[in-house]
Amino acid sequence: LVTGGAGFIGSTFVHRLLARHPGAHAVVLDALTYAGRRENLDGVPAAKLTFVHGDIRDPKAVAAAMQGCSYVINFAAESHVDRSIEAPGDFIQTDVYGVFVMCEEARRVGVQRFIQVSTDEVYGEVLEGQSTEDWPLNPRSPYAASKAGGDRLAYAYACTYGLPVVVTRCSNNYGPRQYPEKLVPLFVTNAIDDQPLPVYGTGRNTRDWLHVDDHCDALLTLLEFPGIEGETFNIGAQHELDVLTITD
């Protein structure tokens, strides 16, 4: 089961999963909000894909989608810092309560592994060096706080109920099919249309830039790797660039 599988990272994961494991069958559960598009799954053989239009906050939709699934990977999330400032309630509902619904059903079904996809935003501002998995969480936006809540809730289900959870925290993704609210596709499309490139502040804040294919390959490795239940993994590219460099 791939939740959010019609979105940017989720659809890439489905494509790469089925390329690596042609005998697999993917069930995609997606609410098809503004960033999810069925077209992102074009090219996936119909016999290899079951699409369920539904929300991870809906226990009935989750139960229908998870039936018969051995593995669950949860990409479904509200995922933009600026929008979380305007509508924080949506983020709490999806990124925390939705994870609760998913974990409850996964516990009932007895899945072999549950990957909760989180973000390095949960660490807050890192002024020196690199955050490691044992760093304290210091989220600085409603988005980051909601993702921290979801990933710790999934971890709590591993500790309390023995749910075979693995938590991942990735850096900034970029690549094909990314919705143009994020920096790279927004600036590319603005430049094509001869529109301004809105850099906030000095533009000297750095990010680690991770290609979505590399992220999904790491997730596929963690999906199968034995004996890592209950662990958390940072996924990054060690490719740090500041915003002005990306803008150029």
The catalytic site residues sit at: 120-121, 143
Please state whether 43 falls in left (phi above 0), alpha (psi between -120 and 50) or beta. Answer: left
- 61-66 long-range contacts (CB < 8 A, ≥24 apart) are 61/29, 62/29, 62/101, 62/102, 62/105, 63/105, 63/108, 65/1, 65/3, 65/27, 65/29, 66/1, 66/27, 66/105, 66/106, 66/109, 66/111
Question: What is the SS3 assignment for 154-182?
Answer: HHHHHHHHCCCEEEEEECEEECCCCCCCC
